[in-house]
Amino acid sequence: MIRYVLAVALAATVLGMTATAVDQVGTIRGERAVQAEIETIESAASSLYKYETIPTAGTGPRRIVTVEVHDGRATQARPEQIRFERISGRAATRVTYRVRGGRTRERKLDVPIRSAGGGPVDLTDWHGKQRFILRLVVGTSGKPVVTVEPYN
């Protein structure tokens, strides 16, 4: 009888440890996926900001990027926050993100990014593959800024 109790206790312990390990791996995979998508947006935005100019007539240059915010796999934790917010008075953006089971992380991008409406870009509610248009426009200060909007 004692053997059966020990076997059940051992099995419960192993299952508990396995579940914890799977959660940790899912969080790490989720964070890596979010970091990769941030780099995709950063690369396109930096290219626009550094190498393009805004014409005096017509629309400014643009890039279309496809990002996969969360692919729905059970082995990858879902993002709870992904937000791009301009740093006041600087040509830079702070990206704040958090993946389920992880801690809130920040990253600074050396390019000013905002939504087409003028506020922060929040990708928290976006899931699966999404296409976005990044445009180089003149900001309220008269200096170039990159806007992000969904591609329709």
Q: Where are the domains of the chain?
A: 2-150
Give the pTM.
0.82
Largest separation between any pair of C-alpha atoms in the chain: 85
Contact residues for 86 (Cβ-Cβ < 8 A; gap 6+) = 92, 93, 94, 112, 113, 114, 120, 145
pLDDT over 70 (residue 120): yes
pLDDT tens, residue by residue, 80-119: 899 999 998 899 999 999 998 889 999 999 999 999 999 9
Question: What would the two tokens of residue 2 be?
Answer: 């004692």
